[in-house]
Amino acid sequence: MPALVVLGAQWGDEGKGKATDQLGTSADYVVKFNGGNNAGHTVVVGGEKFPLHLLPSGILSEGCTPVIGNGVVVDLPVLFQEIEELESRGRSAAGLKISANAHVITPYTRTLDTLSERTLGERKIGTTGRGIGPTYADKISRIGIRIQDLFDESILHQKVASALEQKNRLLISYGEEPFDADDVTAELLSYAERVRPMMCDVTLEINNALDEGKIVLFEGGQATMLDIDHGTYPYVTSSNPTAGGACTGTGVGPTRIDRVIGVAKAYITRVGEGPFPTELFGDEGEWLREAGHEYGVTTGRPRRCGWYDAPIARYASRVNGLTDLVITKLDVLGDLEKIPVCVAYEIEGKRVEEVPASQTDFHHAKPIYEYREGWQSDISQCRTWEELPEAARAYIEYLEEISNCRISVIGVGPEREQSIVRHPLV
């Protein structure tokens, strides 16, 4: 009864969408467990590009039921827009299930995200501006709105009004327009009938599916280094994209998880603010950004680019208990004569092997590089391990050794088929 978690091992955009889509062809369920439409996944099937944000990446696989777990925050207009776009391209979102306990992004949490960034000034996080942080903050403060609240107008109105009691004072004090509880309630209610058939007891559904021997994929948004607890706080998102989040975000116990698959690029990128030891500036950074087409799917922002960071890979392996690594975008490094790999950091004159516990130290970490031979050829048509040039295999074996995790799949292009499987994941 395989329950597999797929998650980001770096700072996001590792190619989780592609990995999930690929595994989705063998899965019965794909369950999103955290985040919301801050995520942006580009999935390419048969030459067609599908940008996904809120919908689970398994949505493109026939016979795979897509599920949004309780750990996700749902922006209802975005959800239905994404469904309509998919349907206009001949794909179906029928069968989509949403946890009754998932929280809803509201017009005021969206505004508060922008306001918070503005008031932070230079210390801003560089959020996606989708209302993610304030919606999770309301969840933790116990003033959030859940999917199940959409079906009782008077309860919904009470909840919105009491949340707005606090929010409007804040908004007015910053010169923003306050929200009207009647309007917000009416807007949320306008989605209720479309949501009703999707609402589901996800914990029951998924545990039953596992009992029946079904294959369930838990899909993480964001990544380990953006985790609210284990990432580069405060430059993080507001959920748990790490492996434990798959359990709390769906209601499945840790003893049921069989495999935890981390996805990492053969280099590394980051969007938004925060420390980034191997970040490249100038021509080198520009070259990598162009070679890898490193522009965000959600906000279109250029991604910050850098070399593979092995202490981060080891950290991700440890924090998530990774059983497998998927290394994506190996094809992007095809032109390089030498490939730098960060093996440790120098912090205040001392060599440090692991991601430091202190955030200040991490801000001061300078990469110590080792250089590997490049293969200087196009590997995008390779489909087996043997077909890869020797130097590319040596690079992967080296990453495996220094990342503390076996590398099971290698990506050599954005298409579903552009992958090399060394160890089957399902």
Here the tokens at position 387 are 């077909």
Q: Is 36 in the site for Mg ion (CB under 5 A)?
A: no
Q: Is 127 in the site for ligand IMO (CB under 6 A)?
A: yes
Q: Is 14 in the site for Mg ion (CB under 5 A)?
A: no
Residue of the chain from 331, 336, 352, 420 that contacts ligand GDP (CB under 6 A): 331
Q: Which amino acid is at 4?
A: L
Which of 187, 71, 75 has its CA nearest to residue 130?
Answer: 75
Of the candidate spans 5-13, 53-61, 306-314, 411-419, the one that interacts with Mg ion by CB under 5 A turns out to be 5-13
From the number of C-beta atoms within 10 Å of its C-beta (0-12, 13-18, 19+), residue 204 rates as exposed
Strand partners, 1: none
Report DSSP letters for 68-126, one per residue: E-TTBEE-HHHHHHHHHHHHHTT---TT-EEETT-EE--HHHHHHHHHHHHHHGGG---
> Quick check: is 138 catalytic?
no
Residue of the chain from 405, 414, 420, 425 that contacts ligand GDP (CB under 6 A): 414
Give the residue with the Cβ less far from ligand IMO, 285 or 389: 285
Return the ∠ at Cα 69 (arms to 268 and 186), rounded to 5°. 110
Residue of the chain from 222, 240, 242, 278 that contacts ligand IMO (CB under 6 A): 222
**Site size for ligand IMO, by CB under 6 A?**
22
Spatial separation of the C-alpha atoms in residues 136 and 120, rounded to whole Å: 18
Give the residue with the Cβ less far from ligand GDP, 137 or 297: 297
Binding letters toward ligand GDP, positions 282-321, x by CB under 6 A: ---------------x------------------------
Q: Pick the catalytic residue: 21, 28, 41, 227?
A: 41
Q: What separation in angstroms does the CA of 410 have from each of 248, 307, 337, 406? A: 29, 17, 20, 11
Residue of the chain from 157, 270, 314, 329 that contacts ligand GDP (CB under 6 A): 329
User: Could you count the other beta carbons within 10 Å of the beta carbon of residue 353?
Assistant: 12
Residue of the chain from 15, 40, 292, 411 that contacts Mg ion (CB under 5 A): 40
For the bound state, the minimum distance from the C-beta of residue 293 to ligand GDP, rounded and expressed in Å, comes to 6
Binding letters toward ligand GDP, positions 20-59, x by CB under 6 A: -------------------xxxx-x---------------
Q: Is 39 in the site for ligand IMO (CB under 6 A)?
A: yes
Q: Tell me if 1 sits within 8 A of 213, measured CB to CB.
A: yes
Spatial separation of the C-alpha atoms in residues 127 and 124, rounded to whole Å: 8
Q: Is 328 in the site for ligand GDP (CB under 6 A)?
A: yes
Strands (E), 284-375: 304-306, 308-309, 324-328, 338-347, 350-352, 366-373
Give the residue with the Cβ less far from ligand IMO, 110 or 393: 110
> Quick check: is 13 catalytic?
yes
Binding site for ligand GDP (CB under 6 A): 8, 12-18, 39-42, 44, 297, 328-329, 331-332, 411-414
- What residues are labeled active site? 13, 41
Binding site for ligand IMO (CB under 6 A): 8, 12-13, 38-41, 125-128, 130, 132-133, 221-223, 226, 237-238, 271-272
